[in-house]
Amino acid sequence: MAPQDWWPGGWWLVMECAALAAMVRTTWMAVRAERPLDAGHVGPASPRISIVVPARNESARIAGCLVPLRGAAGVAEVLVVDDESTDGTADVARSHGATVLSGAPLPAGWVGKAWALHQGAAAARGEWVVTLDADAIPEPRLPAALVARLERDGVRVATAAGRFRCPTGPSRWLHAAMLTTLVVRFGPAGRRGGSPLANGQCMAMRRDDLVELLGEVRGSTVEDVALVAAATRRGWPTRLVDATPMLTVQMYDGFGATWRGWGRSLSLAGAVRPAALAWHVVLVAVAQVAPPVVLAAAVATGAPIAHVALPFALCAVRLGTLAGTRRAYEHGGPWYWASPLADVVAWCSLVAGAARRVLRRPERWRDRTYA
């Protein structure tokens, strides 16, 4: 087959150039990113941080979050908001020294996690609030180090990206490909000047700011990104901090749970404009999914160098991205390094999320259905 028989034309060349420019920009942001959070950021001398953990049926996982926080420097209290759990979440939390707040029924217009966080923030006594998901495993120094980083840099709202624990090879394979779609679309954690991306597994801000912002984003199923967007509209400095040395999270237990759980929010359809979402779908397709196929076809058919150079460059940047995100995972191994083969699966998840937005499909999460 001759190259002219399959090559789509100049429009594809333009799209490849745009995708490569976006990938190079992401790589440059990664090079200039701030160093990860570490113990060198000395926390406050007096306890002034409230930890808020929203929890709904988390009895099997919440102990890993709470144990490191007992006696942690700068932490005045640990509040667990029991969001109408039907298991022993509250009992496990109390046994590990947390103060348990019984969550009130979900009001109309609120999403469960935002409502639980709002109740915890309203009850908090600390000047600062650090929120943690029940599946987060922090080091004891994390809260104080995170608040110290915010005060040092004059940041008002921050979320922290941790290190992922994927217990099975297939889950790591898919998870790493999904993470790359976010890096391609939004850039890396720790980038200077803030990021529209956020990680709701760990957030930090002053108590009054959190209460105010949660009231504004109460109906969002991606409350972390919506919260950062609301802060940005106010002109508040925001940051996505790289906390991989001090925070580990196990989001999902296997491939199926990763597909269903992260696939629910991967597109961030409720927090980005439709035009931006459409661009994200195209960008991931051109930057991640298509280059290996186009490169193989170009080489096999003896295509001109112009047809080979761009997909080759995109493949090279993709592998560089994989090397750059390695520290975001507790374990690497063959499944992780083979994750570019899962790019098409991750892209399908992105498309499915975009389609749900277009079709206005209800969303079910944690035994609740949201319009």
pLDDT single digits (tens) 219-248: 888 899 999 999 999 999 999 999 999 999
CA 334 to chain centre: 23
pLDDT digits (tens, 9 = 90+) for 324-358: 899 999 988 999 999 999 999 999 999 998 888 77
Torsion of the alpha carbons at 357, 360, 364 and 369, rounded to the nearest 10: 140
pLDDT of residue 304: 75
Q: What is the largest CA-CA distance in the chain?
A: 72
Taking Cα atoms as reference points, which of 95, 59, 61, 58 lies closest to residue 78?
Answer: 95
Amino acid identity, position 65: C
Q: Is the pLDDT of residue 282 over 70?
A: yes
Please compute Rg for the chain using Cα positions.
21
Quick check: 130 pLDDT over 90?
A: yes
CA distance 90 to 122: 19
* Residue 169 pLDDT: 95
- Residue 65's pLDDT band (cuts 50, 70, 90): very high
**Mean pLDDT to the nearest integer, 82-88:** 92
Q: Are 290 and 311 in contact (CB under 8 A)?
A: yes
Among candidates 132, 272, 150, which has minimal Cα distance to 202? Answer: 132
Q: Lowest mean pLDDT: which of 49-63, 143-157, 298-312?
A: 298-312
Q: How confident is the model at residue 8 (pLDDT cuts 50, 70, 90)?
A: low
pLDDT tier at 189, thresholds 50, 70, 90: confident
pLDDT value for 263: 87
pLDDT of the residue at 237: 94
Q: Which element (helix H / strand E) includes 247? A: strand 247-249
CB atoms inside a 10 Å sphere around CB 31: 9
What CATH superfamily is the domain 49-168+189-252? Spore Coat Polysaccharide Biosynthesis Protein SpsA; Chain A (3.90.550.10)
How confident is residue 318, by pLDDT bands cut at 50, 70 and 90?
A: very high
**Domain extent listing, the chain:** 49-168+189-252
Mean pLDDT across 17-26: 87
- Give the mean pLDDT of 252-277: 86
Confidence of residue 45 (pLDDT cuts 50, 70, 90): low
pLDDT class of 90 with cuts at 50, 70, 90? very high
Tell me how far apart the alpha carbons of residues 48 and 358 are, in angstroms, rounded to a whole number: 44
SS3 218: coil
Model's pTM, two decimal places?
Answer: 0.88
State yes or no: pLDDT of 178 exceeds 60: yes
pLDDT exceeds 60 at position 261:
yes
Instruction: Answer yes or no: is pLDDT of 9 > 90.
Output: no
Question: What are the tens digits of pLDDT across the range 288-316?
Answer: 999 998 888 878 877 777 678 888 999 99
- The kind and range of the H/E element at 282 are helix 274-284
pLDDT of residue 360: 73
- Residue percentage of the chain with pLDDT more than 90: 62
Per-residue pLDDT for 50 more than 70?
yes
10 Å Cβ neighbour count for 70?
A: 12
Mean pLDDT, all residues of the chain: 88
pLDDT at 5 over 60: no
User: What are the percentages of helix, strand and coil residues in the chain, rounded to 5?
Assistant: 50, 15, 35
pLDDT score of 39 more than 70: no
The answer to whether residue 202 scores a pLDDT higher than 70 is: yes
Task: Return d(Cα 86, Cα 115) in angstroms, integer.
Answer: 18
Adjacent-strand bridge partners of 49: 75, 128
In whole angstroms, what is the distance from residue 7 CA to residue 48 CA? 62
CA 262, CA 266: separation in Å to the nearest integer?
6
Task: Give 135's pLDDT tier (boundaries 50, 70, 90).
Answer: very high
Question: What pLDDT band is residue 190 in, cutting at 50, 70 and 90?
Answer: low
Retrieve residue 202's tokens: 């760990």
